[in-house]
């Protein structure tokens, strides 16, 4: 496809000229060249050594500058979860340049194209500039006061007539930690669990699968820890485009340890181009492949028997399932020849420790939770979990999707994964210093039957997942387990084109009473419907216009300083939340213990508040002061271990990766690798969590003869409570005040921290020491099994591997499985449709497609199609084609004819939007806020299908047909 300079074709819109990206003369030409190179080179990752002379210079960060001086401010890239460091250069309050941070512990001066152009995001000339509403089909500028009053009045009216659950608060992985926490608290104080964010549709199946295997639902090790890997198995991920700088860590293992890289993907990606072994998998067959690998492990006795007997529960039940996956059956279902499966797993067995990396290729399936659990089981069988160089390195997507998940922007939990039980609410009511009964009174007082038939009050019932909000609007009210349908949607930092069933979403948007978009950009929510009123666009500031912490994929918290004051009339999220809370009648409660600066809640006070409550996952030790000190001392952390060597942070791990136990004063260094027993807990070691009881069917679930270094209990043990401390004779190790606070509490609910402190003093993990479990008896498939996708082209496999029965109520909604799979769509829609990322763009793509320098790099929405399928349809490379999804949505895109995809498979990137079924919607954007690049959203054509535990959407295997336009 020919690249044209799109930013020159379209005149710049009115904006702040002095700040516009194109006006930065000093480095404009060289940076454009750099961006072009970084977008096009394999992998998209650019290491410091690949910069041309003169493009960059080494800078010294300074805290302040006098007028006229260049101030260098440390910040973190706002695009992906790698968390690269950036030095922003600011002159007289204007962000004039940016430089790589050579001493940053994760990135060492490397950026990809997105990170190298964040200044243009901050100063984005296509941003929303002031509050706007749709009146008779035209955008009308309004003041913030008008916006808050009008939106607030409507919400209160909906609350009165339909109850609090009829307003849906959709939050964001783009919030920093403090905003994410405040957002979840805001929804709680409004009185609903209809709150969620992007994690639902990227890694919810990971969180559920991994947490239910060994305790915590997060990446176990870190990008840097891959330096110690002796082999790398990467499934369903394309980090060369999605997490470019992570490749420098993978390459280090290849170069230093000669670690073979095995890539499993239906598409020959830019990452696969670096692989030693590439396995082309039929989309949706991860479980058969993993069980096929385990079949060889068990057949050859390659499993780590001692590790399994000490630390793994239930593997014999898995063996029975694995026995069914003989090499010929694996080949029949996955399409991968036996010798390739054998070679891959022999490589992993011969080269330990090995790490297993996965991304959304593994998670976005109706059996996503089965996939993630199967990956964990493979690593457990090899003894690869809890060791440097091993683990499950799950690459999260957005820059703060890990943090927003941890802080509970989710419909099924409060912050810190406390859940929604009465105990959980009482815990947080205590932290918030609010009366529990008052909180309870904020919710709908009705009870509704859940999926298990039990009547539960709305305060304790999970809300509607973001993947299903459209059904919350469109479904017959009688079928929804809440008082009324969703009537108002607030999309706060969320691109709707990242979700499936675009045509139904359009209908849902049109049926709502009100649609509110809070975002630095209008997003396609502003244009994809045919509404003429009831839509509000409220300009939020970017993360460069506020400060706060952000959690990288590896659980490290990094502090971002404010780079510039909020541009245009934008406001930081925390200020907008407070304005709304005041209008809606709970402003005082929202900020009861948080200082206000005008109407802006103090970020550091928000950190301190969640520090007081996040005991479950150890977000208690990362005080603002500790995070800021680490930020000022980036260069003192070792690039391999992330451990500070000397200096003010000596002995701490970078980012105080959670769990960072106890209070900040306790000085825990953070936990670099989860479940690593070779270190003391005080140094960051850990056991598997005793989360699922101590016994099942007469068999102990606790660890057997395995414990962390220095543990005074030389065996498994349950989680710590006041009673356990008494029994162990350790009660008197608590101070008198600690004893008073710990009475009747456990390690999660003791707000004073004494229980955690004393457990760690005796070398123990506060959460106990158990086996990891390979059988999750509370899930629909206790042992992961294969089920064909809802829309499958392999009708011959449906009888043997059917999907689930339809469910009457699953997170408040009926959910279809078998009734869809019953129909054969494959004759009319013969191609498997899958999706993924491009290096140039991020998420729904609004901010990156509005960045002039990124927009130049990738200007057309396209579909990759194999030459055989293209030739049979008379399609040539570059032709316009119609792609029709199995539910009838039609997209007009360019054909890219390539062998990257196999015959029978089509691939589309998911960052585009602004076209809808062949129509260009550019004229519908507010003036000056249309992204440079528009295109069809791939998810318009993606079909129904949701994970059986989390309601993750199924975007990695649908069906379509393609014809010449
Ligand atoms: Fe680094 Fe990710 Fe930003 Fe690229 S997008 S610079 S890899 S944090």
Please spell the DSSP secondary structure of 108-159, one letter per residue: TT-B-TTGGGHHHHHT-TTS--S-EEEETTEEEE--HHHHHHHHHHHHHHHH
- Tell which atom from ligand 1 comes closest to the C-alpha of 245: 7
* Cis-peptide, bond into residue 353, ω within 30° of zero: yes
Task: Encode 192-223: b = buried (16+ Cβ within 10 Å), e = exposed.
Answer: bbbbbbbbbbbbbbbbbbbbbbbbbbbbbbbb
Helix, strand, or coil (residue 805): coil
pLDDT in tens, 466-497: 999 999 999 999 999 999 999 999 999 999 99
Distance 398 CA to ligand 1 centre (A): 10
Q: Which of 56, 100, 110, 51 is nearest to 74 (CA)?
A: 100
Helix, strand, or coil (residue 187): helix
Helix, strand, or coil (residue 590): helix
| Residue 83 CB less than 6 A away from ligand 1 | yes
- Tell which atom from ligand 1 comes closest to the C-alpha of 246: 7
Residue closest via CA to ligand 1's atom 2 equals 80
Ligand 1 mutation target, pool 31, 38, 76, 80, most atoms within 8 A of CB = 80
Distance 245 CA to ligand 1 centre (A): 6
User: What pLDDT was estimated at residue 170?
Assistant: 97
Q: What is the spatial distance between Cα 211 and Cα 98, in angstroms, rounded to a whole number?
A: 39
278 pairs with which residues across the strands?
263
Q: Which of 188, 779, 191 is nearest to 482 (CA)?
A: 191
Distance 558 CA to ligand 1 centre (A): 14
DSSP percent split of the chain into helix, strand, coil, nearest 5: 35, 20, 50
Tokens (6 digits) for 392: 């499950």
Contact 350, 262 (CB under 8 A): no
| Residue 244 CB less than 6 A away from ligand 1 | yes
Contact 479, 468 (CB under 8 A): no
| Residue 335 CB less than 6 A away from ligand 1 | no
State the DSSP H helix or E strand holding residue 489, giving kind and residue range, or none if neither: strand 488-492
Q: What is the spatial distance between Cα 72 and Cα 74, in angstroms, rounded to a whole number?
A: 7
Q: What is the spatial distance between Cα 641 and Cα 631, in angstroms, rounded to a whole number?
A: 17
| Residue 79 CB less than 6 A away from ligand 1 | yes
Residue closest via CA to ligand 1's atom 6 equals 115
Distance 569 CA to ligand 1 centre (A): 28
Ligand 1 mutation target, pool 79, 121, 857, most atoms within 8 A of CB = 79
Task: Encode 114-129: b = buried (16+ Cβ within 10 Å), e = exposed.
Answer: bbbbbbbbbbbbbbbb
Residue closest via CA to ligand 1's atom 1 equals 84
The answer regarding whether domain 829-942 maps to CATH 3.20.20.80 reads no
Distance 246 CA to ligand 1 centre (A): 9
Backbone angles phi, psi at 637, to 5 degrees: -95, 135
Distance 79 CA to ligand 1 centre (A): 6
Neighbours of 4 (CB within 10 A): 10
Instruction: Tell which CATH classification among 3.40.50.12780, 3.50.50.60, 3.40.50.740, 3.40.50.720 matches the domain 132-199+401-616.
Output: 3.40.50.740
- Tell which atom from ligand 1 comes closest to the C-alpha of 77: 3
Ligand 1 mutation target, pool 98, 244, 854, most atoms within 8 A of CB = 244
User: What pLDDT was estimated at residue 55?
Assistant: 35
Distance 112 CA to ligand 1 centre (A): 6
Separate counts of helices (H) and strands (E) for the chain: 31, 36
Contact 233, 348 (CB under 8 A): yes
Ligand 1 mutation target, pool 115, 395, 398, 553, most atoms within 8 A of CB = 115
Question: Taking the mean position of all CA atoms in its chain, how far away is CA 626?
Answer: 25
| Residue 82 CB less than 6 A away from ligand 1 | yes
Helix, strand, or coil (residue 387): coil
Q: What is the spatial distance between Cα 201 and Cα 953, in angstroms, rounded to a whole number?
A: 6
Tokens (6 digits) for 543: 């993360």
Residue closest via CA to ligand 1's atom 4 equals 112
Query: Which positions of the chain have pLDDT values less than 50?
Result: 1-32, 34-64
Q: Which CATH architecture has domain 203-395?
A: 3-Layer(aba) Sandwich (3.40)
User: What pLDDT was estimated at residue 123?
Assistant: 82
User: What pLDDT was estimated at residue 47?
Assistant: 39
Residue closest via CA to ligand 1's atom 3 equals 115
Helix, strand, or coil (residue 102): coil
pLDDT in tens, 716-770: 999 999 999 999 999 999 999 999 999 999 999 999 999 999 999 999 999 999 9
Distance 273 CA to ligand 1 centre (A): 20
Distance 82 CA to ligand 1 centre (A): 6
Distance 84 CA to ligand 1 centre (A): 6
Question: Tokens 């600011």 appear where?
Answer: 90
Neighbours of 412 (CB within 10 A): 21
Distance 238 CA to ligand 1 centre (A): 14
| Residue 80 CB less than 6 A away from ligand 1 | yes
Which DSSP state fits 49? G
Question: Taking the mean position of all CA atoms in its chain, how far away is CA 184?
Answer: 16
State the DSSP H helix or E strand holding residue 31, giving kind and residue range, or none if neither: helix 28-40
Q: What is the spatial distance between Cα 404 and Cα 416, in angstroms, rounded to a whole number?
A: 10
User: What pLDDT was estimated at residue 893?
Assistant: 98
Residues comprising the chain, all counted: 965
| Residue 820 CB less than 6 A away from ligand 1 | no
Contact 290, 381 (CB under 8 A): no
Distance 929 CA to ligand 1 centre (A): 25
98 pairs with which residues across the strands?
88
User: What pLDDT was estimated at residue 33?
Assistant: 53
Distance 483 CA to ligand 1 centre (A): 43
Contact 357, 239 (CB under 8 A): yes
Q: What is the spatial distance between Cα 511 and Cα 531, in angstroms, rounded to a whole number?
A: 9
Helix, strand, or coil (residue 155): helix
Backbone angles phi, psi at 772, to 5 degrees: -75, 145
- Tell which atom from ligand 1 comes closest to the C-alpha of 82: 8
Distance 725 CA to ligand 1 centre (A): 45
| Residue 185 CB less than 6 A away from ligand 1 | no
Question: Tokens 């129904």 appear where?
Answer: 944
Helix, strand, or coil (residue 368): helix
Distance 113 CA to ligand 1 centre (A): 8
Neighbours of 512 (CB within 10 A): 21
User: What pLDDT was estimated at residue 14?
Assistant: 30
Distance 45 CA to ligand 1 centre (A): 9
Contact 173, 547 (CB under 8 A): no
| Residue 85 CB less than 6 A away from ligand 1 | no
Neighbours of 609 (CB within 10 A): 23
Distance 268 CA to ligand 1 centre (A): 22
* Burial zone of 772 (CB within 10 Å; 0-12 exposed, 13-18 middle, 19+ buried): buried
Q: 395 — alpha (psi -120 to 50), left (phi > 0) or beta?
A: beta
Q: What is the spatial distance between Cα 323 and Cα 512, in angstroms, rounded to a whole number?
A: 51
Q: What is the spatial distance between Cα 823 and Cα 803, in angstroms, rounded to a whole number?
A: 12
Tokens (6 digits) for 797: 């496999």
Backbone angles phi, psi at 564, to 5 degrees: -140, 165
- Tell which atom from ligand 1 comes closest to the C-alpha of 112: 4
Cα three-residue angle 548-85-640, rounded to 5 degrees: 115
Q: Which of 127, 21, 80 is nearest to 520 (CA)?
A: 127
- Tell which atom from ligand 1 comes closest to the C-alpha of 399: 8
* Burial zone of 112 (CB within 10 Å; 0-12 exposed, 13-18 middle, 19+ buried): buried
User: What pLDDT was estimated at residue 9?
Assistant: 36
Helix, strand, or coil (residue 606): helix
pTM confidence score: 0.94
* Cis-peptide, bond into residue 940, ω within 30° of zero: no
Distance 111 CA to ligand 1 centre (A): 6
- Tell which atom from ligand 1 comes closest to the C-alpha of 76: 8
| Residue 111 CB less than 6 A away from ligand 1 | yes
489 pairs with which residues across the strands?
168, 515
* Cis-peptide, bond into residue 317, ω within 30° of zero: no
| Residue 77 CB less than 6 A away from ligand 1 | yes
Residues 6+ apart with CB under 8 A from 955: 201, 360, 364, 500, 834, 835, 910, 939, 942
| Residue 924 CB less than 6 A away from ligand 1 | no
Helix, strand, or coil (residue 673): coil
Q: How far apart are the first and last CA of the chain?
A: 17
- Tell which atom from ligand 1 comes closest to the C-alpha of 116: 6
Q: Where along the chain do its domains lie?
A: 132-199+401-616, 203-395, 829-942
């Amino acid at each position: 496809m020919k690249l044209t300079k799109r930013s020159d074709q379209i005149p710049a819109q009115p904006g702040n000229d002095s700040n516009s990206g194109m006006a930065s003369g000093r480095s404009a030409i060289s940076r454009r060249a750099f961006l072009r190179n970084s977008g096009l080179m394999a992998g998209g990752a650019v290491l410091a050594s690949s910069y041309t002379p003169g493009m960059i210079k080494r800078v010294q960060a300074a805290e302040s500058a006098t007028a006229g001086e260049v101030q260098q401010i440390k910040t973190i890239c706002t695009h992906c979860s790698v968390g690269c460091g950036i030095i922003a250069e600011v002159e007289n309050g204007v962000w004039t340049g940016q430089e790589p941070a050579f001493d940053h512990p994760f990135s060492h001066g490397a950026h990809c194209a997105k990170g190298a152009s964040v200044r243009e995001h901050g100063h984005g000339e296509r941003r929303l500039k002031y509050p706007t509403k749709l009146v008779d089909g035209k955008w009308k500028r309004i003041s913030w006061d008008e916006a808050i009053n009008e939106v607030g009045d409507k919400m209160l009216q909906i609350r009165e007539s339909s109850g609090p659950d009829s307003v849906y608060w959709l939050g964001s992985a783009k919030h920093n930690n403090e905003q994410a926490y405040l957002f979840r608290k805001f929804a709680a104080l409004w009185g609903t669990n209809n709150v969620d964010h992007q994690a639902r549709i990227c890694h919810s199946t990971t969180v559920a699968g991994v947490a239910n295997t060994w305790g915590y639902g997060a990446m176990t090790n870190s990008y840097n820890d891959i330096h110690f890997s002796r082999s790398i198995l990467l499934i369903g991920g394309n980090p060369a485009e999605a997490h470019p700088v992570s490749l420098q860590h993978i390459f280090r293992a290849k170069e230093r340890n000669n670690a073979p890289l095995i890539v499993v993907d239906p598409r020959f990606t830019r990452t696969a181009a670096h692989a030693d072994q590439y396995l082309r998998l039929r989309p949706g067959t991860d479980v058969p492949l993993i069980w096929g690998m385990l079949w060889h492990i068990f057949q050859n006795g390659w499993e780590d028997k001692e590790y399994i007997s000490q630390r793994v529960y239930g593997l014999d039940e898995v063996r029975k399932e694995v026995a069914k996956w003989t090499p010929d059956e694996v080949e029949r279902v996955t399409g991968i020849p036996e010798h390739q499966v054998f070679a891959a797993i022999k490589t992993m067995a011969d080269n330990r420790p090995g790490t297993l990396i996965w991304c959304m290729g593994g998670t976005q399936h109706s059996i996503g939770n089965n996939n993630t659990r199967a990956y964990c089981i493979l690593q457990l069988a090899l003894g690869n979990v809890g060791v440097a160089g091993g683990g499950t390195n799950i690459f999260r997507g957005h820059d703060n999707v890990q943090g927003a998940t941890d802080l509970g922007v989710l419909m099924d939990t409060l912050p810190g994964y406390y859940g929604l039980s009465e105990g959980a609410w009482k815990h947080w009511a205590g932290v918030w210093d609010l009366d529990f009964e008052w909180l309870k009174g904020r919710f709908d007082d009705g009870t509704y039957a859940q999926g298990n038939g039990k009547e539960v009050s709305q305060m304790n019932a999970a809300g509607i997942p973001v993947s299903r909000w459209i059904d919350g609007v469109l479904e017959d009210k009688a079928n929804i387990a809440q008082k009324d349908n969703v009537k108002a949607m607030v999309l706060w930092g969320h691109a709707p084109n990242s979700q499936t069933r675009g045509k139904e979403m359009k209908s849902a948007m049109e049926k709502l009473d009100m649609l509110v978009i809070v975002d630095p950009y209008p997003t396609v929510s502003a244009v994809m419907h045919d509404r003429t009123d009831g839509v509000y666009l409220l300009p939020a500031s970017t993360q460069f216009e506020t400060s706060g912490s952000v959690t990288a994929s590896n659980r490290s918290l990094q502090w971002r300083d404010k780079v510039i004051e909020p541009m245009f009339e934008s406001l930081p999220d925390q200020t907008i939340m407070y304005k709304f809370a005041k209008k809606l009648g709970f402003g005082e409660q929202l900020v009861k213990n948080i200082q206000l600066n005008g109407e802006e809640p103090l970020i550091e006070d928000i950190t301190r508040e969640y520090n007081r409550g996040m005991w479950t996952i150890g977000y208690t030790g990362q005080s603002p002061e500790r995070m800021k000190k680490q930020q000022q001392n980036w260069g003192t952390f070792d690039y391999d271990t992330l451990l500070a060597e000397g200096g003010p942070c000596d002995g701490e791990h970078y980012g105080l990766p959670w769990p960072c136990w106890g209070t900040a004063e306790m000085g825990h260094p953070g936990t670099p690798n989860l479940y690593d027993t070779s270190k003391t807990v005080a140094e960051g070691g850990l056991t598997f969590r005793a989360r699922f009881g101590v016994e099942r069917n007469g068999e102990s679930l606790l660890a057997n003869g395995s414990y962390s270094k220095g543990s005074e209990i030389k065996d498994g043990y349950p989680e710590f409570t006041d009673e356990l401390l008494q029994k162990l004779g350790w009660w008197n190790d608590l101070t008198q005040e600690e004893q008073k606070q710990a009475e009747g509490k456990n390690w999660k609910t003791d707000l004073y921290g004494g229980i955690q402190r004393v457990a760690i003093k005796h070398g123990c993990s506060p959460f106990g020491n158990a086996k990891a479990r390979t059988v999750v008896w509370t899930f629909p498939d206790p042992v992961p099994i294969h089920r064909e996708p809802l829309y499958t082209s392999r009708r011959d496999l449906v009888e043997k591997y059917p999907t689930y029965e339809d469910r009457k109520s699953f997170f408040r909604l009926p959910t279809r499985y078998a009734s869809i799979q019953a129909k054969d769509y494959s004759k009319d829609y013969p191609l498997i449709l899958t999706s993924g990322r491009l290096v140039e763009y991020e998420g729904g793509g609004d901010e990156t497609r509005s960045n002039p320098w990124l927009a130049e790099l990738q200007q057309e929405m396209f579909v990759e199609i194999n030459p055989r399928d293209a030739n049979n349809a008379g399609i040539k490379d570059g032709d316009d084609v119609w792609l029709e999804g199995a539910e009838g949505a039609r997209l007009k895109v360019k054909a890219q004819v390539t062998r990257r995809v196999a015959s029978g498979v089509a691939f589309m990137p998911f960052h585009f939007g602004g076209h809808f079924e062949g129509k260009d919607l550019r004229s519908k954007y507010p003036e000056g806020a249309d992204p440079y690049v528009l295109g069809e959203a791939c998810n318009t054509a993606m079909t129904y299908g949701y994970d059986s535990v989390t309601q993750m959407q199924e975007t990695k295997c649908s069906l379509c047909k393609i014809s010449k336009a």
